[in-house]
A and B are shown apart, each in its own frame.
Chain A
């Protein structure tokens, strides 16, 4: 009997070695372990044996059955592995270096920077306001304390229109309308407002001069707003804008709509303040004008300067955008040249 088992085993192994497909493995399973399979047949012969032999042979046959089952499983697994290997070997090689075809548009660089700055202001409780580009002489000049004979009103810098209006020369032209819109702030609830806008100066353009450019102006008016608050605020704000701890210094500066008025410098972005060609060795970069809102401007905006004070500041959004992206020629911004503009994703 034992010889039969041995023969069966060697016969199986020979066949197994020959097997190549899943179908063959499956056929072998049936041929050996199926209801009418070779191993099952041998088991059927057991009933004719004595108890001792039955036990011995039974054990061997069961061991053979387990062995065949295990070997078939392994062989099947091997086959599958070969199939995957083949699939991978035969697969078409994908060239990752070929650029994908993508229809990606672009935002204007000024939009990108403007939005970043607006978000910083919004996080500090500022409202964003939008002023008109075409203004009256009153809003652009008188209301911000630039009287009739002020040199800033000489014709040459301002675009005047056929109906007597003008293209606004600075974002401050929106101050009066904003003050009137919101009125005097409640105690402890200062008016915080940012008003970006496009401004116009009647001059010839070249790589560093544009007649159409963006500014961004902010003001804060309340019953308790001080110079100390102004400096603190500018330092915090500019540290956010430039994403580092910025040092600021104030110098007296004259602007009719503020008193006192300041020129604000920051430590040079290139050298950090040690002195380099960019900052003309001074360590400082002149960045923005700011100041305490002139009492006359508050009065014209319908806000009592004896009760309220406020600060205002202006930031050259176009200049900031150029600084941020290293744009050397300002004319690119209004050119509609897609080779330049499509770079700003």
Chain B
């Protein structure tokens, strides 16, 4: 929204004020100023001139050769304006002067000298009109500087509309002036208005509000309007504030909206006789002011003349009842509507207008009558012959409650942390038109109606009023006084960072982030059909609506995308997935760690071993616990039916590891080997870290026994290990895996070498002794069908 400083100065004395500094303070105290524009700066030496002689240019149809009296001399001027004539009173830019974007000097145009220029309104920066030069009537004195006739010099600042969403009172100059008056500690002048009580005896308008969405409707009838062009200064203000001038009555409604923030509408009185504010329960066709035929949905509030709509309430008038340049009598509307309803209707109709933007902020209903009185004041100043033909007709079914707020000085001190005096509190609130009474440190305020529609309701709101005018830059800054106490680290969070660090630093993994939904196109391309519980119902990218239950498909998609640049890669993400719903119907949101290792060079066994090493290292480093595995059922189609396993920690399932199913791997790349693992982060984090229990080192040497066993596919190292360790012997310390190989000579079986460690804390073990144990162990292994390799 654009604010004119000239307009503000109608209501606050700005003499001797540093305007730019004032705008800076406004930003800090009220709302953000986005831009400051200085108008009129580039207009110099433009005076009222008179065309005393006009000749056609001999060779040009368009150009005229003029003699112009500029008040000092009669000079030559070559002019191309279609509307110039001998005797015209014009705005004449003298040599050495300037107009918008142009310095005026002595020139020769089409072979003739020219010593100045007749200007259009556009060239003067006061309108977009460039159809011809600006003309004045005979009352203009030749030689007068144009700036003495038109208030062209003005500073305009643009306030960020978003920073005004909660301030319905600031959608017009008068409200802004109130803020500026408070900042300058100068009085705000009263608004000059016509007192409409004088018309109380006239007949009233036939008005009825038939919907609770209309809080108040005020209107008055006027006739005998004889002028239709707005005064220049009004046009300039409208123009500078971004509103194109139209005709007097339309301009006046706009001017009022920009001055008070109150949207107004002028109907042609000949076409509108009665006012009914209502909603329809069926669709209604209606042609709005912009000559567009619209279907009005049921429930949208309309202004009607009986059953015939004349306007969409609070949004836009109708074409039929529009005031035109020759309108002489009007019905003036100034109303107040429910803000939410206007917002929703405007959204439905796709027409957010200046009026609806204001109504949706919840305007002050007390403003409707003063707005009409102000309109009449301005209209009568411009066109003294106008005649009011009805009484002020005002229906006001819904009032906002008057808001009283009590607080004390201690509350202000506590909330602010500084000492703002009682006098300063009273002065500030009074300047903002709050009614303040106090008994010592106890205050009671009445919130002014223009702040009471939603903006100021509680004590904390009063704090804002006091502090913003006090100035946040003036605050003394203090630290909080708080107890010195240690903060316990959040273990899960520490774990998360440790895992990330381990994977990146030790295993060369890259951390990635991705979306919480599946990439549908990618999944289709890779033949992935992952489970999804929840769906997004309103996504702008509607194909990606399935919320992921696993990150693995996303990581596989990333592998696919990166294969052009990398032959091998390891990636991980710690992110959220949804695993079904809770009993209450809420998403079962889980944080998971997902890892992929993929390569065009390594074998499937290699990449699976890598991922396995990663999760085992994580468990060992962070929990000091060993991972174990159990057979998994291949739920998702990227799982390998044979080489996949449940990951167990302390016997509890925490995740899944699998070689990538060749069907999917092949779609990514013919040569690809890949393995993935996913761990439920909460399940992992909730496990206690195993304390380190130090064990004394034996003073005596131990004995290692290596055994090479002949095993088939059904025998895992785990089985061998568990069988060996089940042997009850206090000297048996460990059973480790050394290696395993397959050989044709072994008839499809494999040779698995293990190492057993025997140590005593009491003495040196003898070879015979250990041999005896070994024989026992071999018997136990034989019992499981595991034989030593001959």
| Chain A positions near chain B (C-beta within 8 angstroms) | 103-108, 110-111, 115, 118, 122, 125-130, 132-134, 136, 149, 151, 154-156, 158-165, 167, 188-190, 192, 198, 200, 202-204, 211-212, 220, 222, 224-229, 231-233, 235-236, 249-254, 259-260, 262-263, 292, 294-295, 309, 333-339, 341-342
Contact = CB atoms under 8 A, between A and B. Distances in A.
Given A211-B515, A229-B480, 9 more contacts: A105-B511, A115-B497, A204-B541, A226-B415, A227-B472, A228-B475, A254-B167, A292-B415, A338-B569
A164 B585 CA distance: 9
Nearest to A259: B460
Contacts of B489: 122
A252 B179 CA distance: 13
Given A111-B500, A163-B534, A226 B589 contact: no
A104 B481 CA distance: 45
A260 B468 contact: yes
A228 B458 contact: no
Instruction: Classify the secondary structure of A's interface with B.
Output: mixed
A292 B478 CA distance: 15
A165 B468 contact: no
For B476, B480, B536, B547, the residue with the greatest tally of chain A CB atoms inside 10 Å of its CB is B480
A257 B434 CA distance: 24
B460 A161 contact: no
B562 interface: yes
B587 interface: yes
Nearest to A263: B32
A133 B592 CA distance: 13
A106 to B, nearest CB: 5
A252 B30 contact: yes
B511 A106 contact: yes
A235 B475 CA distance: 13
Contacts of A235: 477
A129 to B, nearest CB: 8
Contacts of A333: 513
B538 interface: yes
For A104, A133, A192, A202, the residue with the greatest tally of chain B CB atoms inside 10 Å of its CB is A133
B516 A128 contact: no
Contact of A133 (B165, B417, B497, B516): B516
A337 B473 CA distance: 45
B487 A122 contact: yes
A105 B163 contact: no
B343 interface: yes
Contacts of A133: 516, 576, 589
Given A108-B511, A227-B415, A227-B417, A262 B472 contact: yes
A159 B536 contact: yes
B195 to A, nearest CB: 36
B534 A151 contact: no
Contacts of A337: 561-562
B513 A334 contact: yes
A128 B562 contact: no
A163 B586 CA distance: 7
B463 interface: yes
Interface in B407-455: 414-418
B31 interface: yes
Interface residue tally of chain B, by bracket?
A: 35 or more
B510 A128 contact: no
Contacts of A167: 516, 536
Contacts of B511: 105-108, 111, 341
A228 B508 contact: no
16 contacts: A104-B508, A106-B510, A128-B493, A129-B490, A133-B576, A159-B536, A161-B535, A163-B581, A226-B417, A227-B463, A231-B475, A259-B463, A260-B463, A260-B464, A334-B513, A336-B514
A341 B427 CA distance: 58
A250 B500 contact: no
B479 interface: yes
Nearest to A336: B558
- Going nearest first, the 3 A-B pairs with the smallest beta carbon separation are A226-B417, A228-B417, A103-B508
B775 interface: no
B565 A125 contact: no
Given A161-B587, A334-B513, A227 B483 contact: no
A254 B343 contact: no
A127 B587 CA distance: 26
B340 A190 contact: no
B165 A162 contact: no
A226 B416 contact: yes
Contact of B418 (A154, A228, A251): A228
A122 B565 CA distance: 40
B557 interface: yes
Contacts of B27: 251
B414 A105 contact: no
A264 B711 CA distance: 71
Contacts of B165: 151, 254
Contact of B587 (A111, A134, A225): A134
B163 A222 contact: no
Nearest to B413: A226
Contacts of B417: 226-229
Contacts of B591: 130
B515 A212 contact: yes
A160 B538 contact: yes
Nearest to B162: A254
B504 interface: yes
A155 B538 contact: yes
Contact of B571 (A134, A158, A222, A338): A338
A79 B481 CA distance: 76
B505 interface: yes
A202 B540 contact: yes
B32 A251 contact: yes
Given A105-B505, A125-B482, A309-B415, A227 B540 contact: no
A134 B589 contact: yes
B512 interface: yes
Contacts of A156: 538
B30 A105 contact: no
B43 interface: no
Contact of B509 (A105, A128, A136, A231): A105
B697 interface: no
Contacts of A233: 479-480
